[in-house]
Amino acid sequence: MARRVKKERKRGMKTARAQASAGTNAAMAPRRRPGRPSLSNEQLLDKALDLFLEQGFEGTSIEAITAAAGMAKRTVYARYGDKTTLFKAALKRAIEEWIVPVDRLRVIENGDFERTLLAIGQALVANMMSPAGQRLLRLTNAVSGRMPEIGAFNVKVGTGPTIAYLADLFRRHLGEDFAEAEAAAEAFLNLVVGGPSNAAAWGVAFDTATIDTITRYNVRLFLHGMLPAGSGLSAPHVAALEDENLRLKKLLAEKLIEIDRLREAADAEG
């Protein structure tokens, strides 16, 4: 019994010495320094976009981006490979976040067609005239010639869905047989939205009141043409125009038939 107790005591002393030695080694070992917190991919793209917007594509280097992001160059290269790929990813993400969703445009609709167009125009113009909108417009214009896929992406996620929505809106108010709905939607964007935003991108300064005045006029011009506000064609005038339009169509058809007959006669003589 005494011999067994002595063995267990020796074993316990060895275990205690081993634990003490391990503790000493752990205390003497150099502590691992915590690394810099890694930015999320969204944060990296935000940092990169800020520099691209401020300095342009050519004026921005990977070194500047990594310094601003507090990130190693190898990490950025591992994620995107090169500056061009990083630029496209940052710009595409910014475009997706900046465009006005179609669902928001639908919420703007009201019972009056002209008031609906005005509200939609004001929302789109405000988005284009915002600081973010102007910076993106200038940057995309600067690189679109060399990177046409950026413009194609903008059309795919922004312009294309907006034109489809406007065309549907026009058909709902003007009739399902309105054949020029898509062309009218493009004209609306070019006149109402593109006019002031493109001028601002070229450095023309507008105050809020002027932008609102321009938008209201362009919507009315789009919908009513050059007729003075409050005026309109009377029923007899409309009827006269319809009759004249029908007369011209008949005359054109007759002339086309006559041309075909002359062509056939010429072929027969030849």
Mean pLDDT for 239-254 is 68
> 142-152 b/e with 16+ CB inside 10 Å = b?
ebeeebeebee
Q: Is the pLDDT of residue 35 over 50?
A: no
265 pLDDT band, cuts 50/70/90, is low
What pLDDT, in 10s, does the model give residues 101-149?
A: 999 999 999 989 999 999 999 999 999 898 888 888 888 878 878 888 8
Query: Is the pTM value of this prediction over 0.85?
Result: no
CA distance 117 to 185: 11
What is the pLDDT, as a whole number, of residue 116?
Answer: 96
What is the reported pLDDT for 36?
46
Query: Going from the N-terminus, what domains does the chain have, and what CATH number goes with each?
Result: 41-94 (1.10.10.60), 99-224 (1.10.357.10)
Alpha carbon distance 181, 186 (integer Å): 9
CB atoms within 10 A of CB 97: 11
Q: Report d(CA 198, CA 133) in Å as an integer.
A: 11
Of 134, 48, 124, 130, give the one whose Cα is nearest residue 91. Answer: 48
CA–CA distance, 192 with 81 (Å, rounded to integer): 40
- Please write the tens of the pLDDT for every residue from 181-204: 999 999 999 999 988 888 887 778
3-state secondary structure of 122: helix
